[in-house]
């Protein structure tokens, strides 16, 4: 990923997370009959959502960076579910972190092999 793409990725992730946080934080005020309680952690939930969408878009484009983003998302989700005392999901996201880390390693290995063949 070049510098421009990195800046765009970080900017979209940050701005999207902030916008989604402001939306999620106010849902209980706007729709009290549906959302009776405020969001437990709107920033972290918004980060997971926005970055998952971004990682999925990169995955469709077959970019190696999508797996790095998935590792980050899975680490944050593991933490969020652990502190909320939802252990099963915490374990699930921990396993997904391992799978995503393996994918980063595997895709990098294949990319290096492909680069050596075409060079």
Q: Could you identify the residue written with the tokens 């979209």? A: 12
Asked if residues 67 and 103 have their Cβ atoms less than 8 Å apart, the reply is yes
Please list, in sequence order, all residues whose beta carbon lies within 8 angstroms of the beta carbon of residue 34, skipping any fewer than 6 positions away.
27
36 burial type by CB count under 10 A (0-12 exposed, 13-18 middle, 19+ buried): exposed
pLDDT score recorded for residue 113: 75
Q: Could you identify the residue written with the tokens 């579910």? A: 81
Using CA atoms, how far apart are residues 50 and 115, in angstroms rounded to an integer? 32
pLDDT score recorded for residue 66: 92
Using CA atoms, how far apart are residues 109 and 111, in angstroms rounded to an integer? 5
pLDDT score recorded for residue 72: 96
Instruction: Tell whether the model's pLDDT for residue 36 goes beyond 60.
Output: yes
Using CA atoms, how far apart are residues 25 and 43, in angstroms rounded to an integer? 8
pLDDT score recorded for residue 80: 95
Instruction: Determine what percent of the chain is predicted with pLDDT higher than 70.
Output: 95
Query: Between 119 and 28, where is the model more confident?
Result: 28
pLDDT score recorded for residue 115: 63
How do the domains of the chain map onto residue ranges? 3-118
pLDDT score recorded for residue 118: 61
pLDDT tier for residue 47 given thresholds of 50, 70 and 90:
very high
Note the pLDDT tens digit of each residue in 64-107: 899 999 999 999 999 999 999 999 999 999 999 999 999 999 98
Q: Could you identify the residue written with the tokens 């983003």? A: 69
Tokens representing 56 are 């999925």
């Amino acid at each position: 990923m070049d510098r421009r793409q990195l800046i765009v990725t970080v900017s979209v992730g940050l701005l999207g997370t902030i916008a989604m946080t402001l939306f999620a934080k106010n849902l209980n005020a706007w729709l009290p009959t549906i959302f009776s309680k405020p969001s437990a952690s709107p920033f972290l939930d918004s980060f997971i959502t926005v970055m998952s969408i971004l990682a999925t878009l990169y995955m469709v484009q077959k970019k190696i960076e999508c797996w790095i983003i998935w590792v980050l998302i899975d680490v944050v989700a593991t933490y969020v579910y652990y502190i909320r005392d939802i252990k099963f999901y915490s374990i699930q996201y921990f396993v997904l972190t391992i799978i995503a880390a393996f994918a980063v390693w595997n895709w990098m290995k294949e990319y290096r092999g492909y680069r050596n063949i075409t060079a």
